[in-house]
Chain A
Amino acid sequence: MDFIRNIDCLRQIAREVRKDILTMLNKAGSGHTGGSLSAVELLTALFFAKLRHDPQKPCWKDRDRFILSKGHAAPVLYAILARCGYFEREELLHLRELGSRLQGHPDSKFTPGVEVPTGSLGQGLSMANGIALAARLDGLSTRVYVLLGDGEVQEGQVWEAAMTAGHYKLDNVCAILDNNGLQIDGWVKDVKNVEPLAPKWEAFGWAVLEIDGHNFGEILSALDKAEEIKGKPTIIIAHTVKGKGVSFFENKAKYHGVAPTNEELERALKELENA
Chain B
Amino acid sequence: MKKASLREAYGRTLVELGRENKDIVVLDADLSGSTKTQMFAKEFPERFFNIGIAEQDMIGTAAGLAVAGKIPFASTFAIFATGRAWEQIRQSVAYAKLNVKIVASHGGITVGDDGGSHQAVEDVGLMRILPNMTVIVPADAIEMAQVIRTVAAYNGPVYVRSARIDFPVIYEGTDYKFQIGKGNILREGNDITIMAMGLMVHFALEAASLLSLQGIESRVVNMSTIKPIDRQLILNSARKTGMILTVEEHLVTGGLGSAVCEVVAEEYPVPVKRIGIKDRFGISGKPDKLLSYFHLTPQDIVAEAKQLLNSKPRLLRAVG
Interface residues of A (CB under 8 A from B): 61, 107-109, 115-120, 123, 125-135, 137-138, 142, 156-157, 160-161, 163-164, 167-168
B61 engages A119 (CB within 8 Å): no
List which B90-129 residues lie within 8 A (CB) of chain A. 91-92, 95-97
Name 26 interchain pairs, CB-CB below 8 A, sorted by A. A107-B95, A109-B96, A116-B67, A116-B92, A117-B91, A117-B92, A119-B91, A123-B56, A126-B61, A126-B63, A129-B57, A129-B60, A130-B61, A130-B62, A130-B67, A130-B68, A131-B64, A131-B68, A134-B69, A137-B47, A138-B68, A157-B54, A157-B56, A160-B56, A164-B52, A164-B57
Q: Mark B59-76, 1 if CB is under 8 A from A, else 0.
A: 111111111111010000
With A and B bound together, what is the CA distance between A133 and B87 in angstroms? 22
Q: How far is the CA of A117 from the CA of B89 in the complex (A)?
A: 12
Q: Which residue of A137, A138, A156, A164 is within 8 Å of B61 (Cβ)?
A: A164
B133 within 8 A of A: no
Q: How far is the CA of A162 from the CA of B46 in the complex (A)?
A: 20
Contact check, B95 vs A135: say whether CB atoms are below 8 A apart: no
Q: Are A109 and B64 in contact (CB under 8 A)?
A: no
Q: Is the C-beta of B49 less than 8 angstroms from some C-beta in chain A?
A: yes
CB neighbours of B13 from chain A (8 A): none
Q: Specify which chain B residues have a CB less than 8 angstroms from the CB of A117 in the assembled complex.
A: 91-92, 95-96
A157 to B51, CA, bound (A): 12
Residues of B within 8 A of A133 (CB): 25, 49, 61, 64-65
A164 to B30, CA, bound (A): 13
Report the bound CA distance from A163 to B58 in whole Å.
12
Q: Report the bound CA distance from A156 to B67 in whole Å.
A: 23
Is residue B218 within 8 Å, beta carbon to beta carbon, of the partner chain?
A: no
Are A163 and B54 in touch, CB under 8 angstroms?
A: yes
**How near does chain B come to A164, taking the closest CB pair, in angstroms?**
6
Q: A123-B91, A161-B57 are in contact. Are A115 and B52 (CB under 8 A)?
A: no
Q: Please give, as numbers and ranges, the residues of chain A lying within 8 Å of B225 by CB-CB distance.
A: none
Residues of B within 8 A of A134 (CB): 25, 64-65, 67-70
Question: SS class of chain B's interface: helix, strand, loop or mixed?
Answer: helix
Can you name the residue of chain A whose Cβ is closest to the Cβ of B47? Answer: A137
A157 and B57 contact, Cβ closer than 8 Å, known pairs A134-B70, A137-B46: yes
Determine if B88 is an interface residue (Cβ-Cβ < 8 Å).
Answer: yes
Q: Give the size range of B's interface with the partner.
A: 20 to 34
Taken together as a complex, chains A and B put the C-alpha atoms of A126 and B64 apart, in Å, by 7
Chain B neighbourhood of A118, CB < 8 A: 91
Give the 4 A-B CB pairs with smallest separation, nearest first.
Answer: A130-B64, A126-B60, A134-B68, A160-B57
**Given known contacts A123-B88, A131-B64, A157-B88, what 15 new A-B pairs fall within 8 Å (CB)?**
A108-B67, A109-B96, A116-B67, A126-B60, A130-B62, A130-B65, A130-B72, A131-B65, A133-B65, A134-B69, A137-B70, A138-B68, A157-B60, A161-B60, A168-B49
Neighbouring A residues of B47 by C-beta, 8 Å:
137
Known: A108-B96, A130-B62. A156 touches B56 (CB 8 A): yes
The distance from the CB of B70 to the nearest CB of chain A, in whole angstroms, is 5
Q: From residue 19 to 52 of chain B, which have CB atoms closer than 8 A to chain A?
A: 25, 46-47, 49, 51-52
> Which one, B52, B87, B92, B95, contacts A127 given CB within 8 A?
B92
Complex alpha-carbon distance, A86 and B188, angstroms? 57
Cα separation A161 to B56 with both chains bound (whole Å):
9
Question: Which of chain B's residues has its CB closest to A125's CB?
Answer: B60
Assembled-state Cα–Cα distance A128/B67 (Å): 10
Nearest-neighbour CB distance to chain B for A265, whole angstroms, equals 32
How many whole Å from B24's CB to the nearest CB in chain A?
Answer: 11
User: Which residues on A sit within 8 Å (CB–CB) of B66?
Assistant: 130
**Cβ-defined partner of A109 (8 Å) among B49, B61, B70, B97:** B97
Q: A115-B67, A119-B91, A134-B70 are in contact. Are A126 and B96 (CB under 8 A)?
A: no
List the A side residues contacting B68 at CB < 8 Å: 130-131, 134-135, 138, 142
Determine the distance from Cα of A133 to Cα of B48 in the docked complex, in whole angstroms. 10
Q: What A residues does B97 contact at CB under 8 A? A: 109
Query: In chain A, what residue has the closest Cβ to B46?
Result: A137
A167 to B54 alpha-carbon distance, docked (Å) = 13
Q: A117-B92, A134-B70 are in contact. Are A128 and B52 (CB under 8 A)?
A: no
Contact status of A129 and B61, CB under 8 A, knowing A115-B67, A123-B88, A160-B56: yes
Residues A160 and B54 in contact in the complex (CB < 8 Å), given A117-B91, A130-B60, A133-B61 = yes
| Measured CA separation A1–B25 after assembly (Å) | 32
Decide if A120 touches B57 in the complex (CB within 8 Å): no
Instruction: List chain A residues, Cβ under 8 A from B63.
Output: 116, 126-127, 130
- Which B-chain residue is minimally distant from A156 (CB atoms)? B56
Q: Is the CB of A129 within 8 A of B64?
A: yes
* CB-CB nearest in chain B for A142: B68
Q: Contacts of A160 on B, CB cut-off 8 Å? A: 51-52, 54, 56-57
Check A116–B64 contact: CB distance below 8 A: yes
Report the minimal beta-carbon distance from A122 to chain B, rounded to whole angstroms: 8
Task: Kindly list chain B residues whose C-beta atoms are within 8 Å of the C-beta of A157.
Answer: 54, 56-57, 60, 88
**Minimum Cβ distance to chain A for residue B26 (Å):** 12
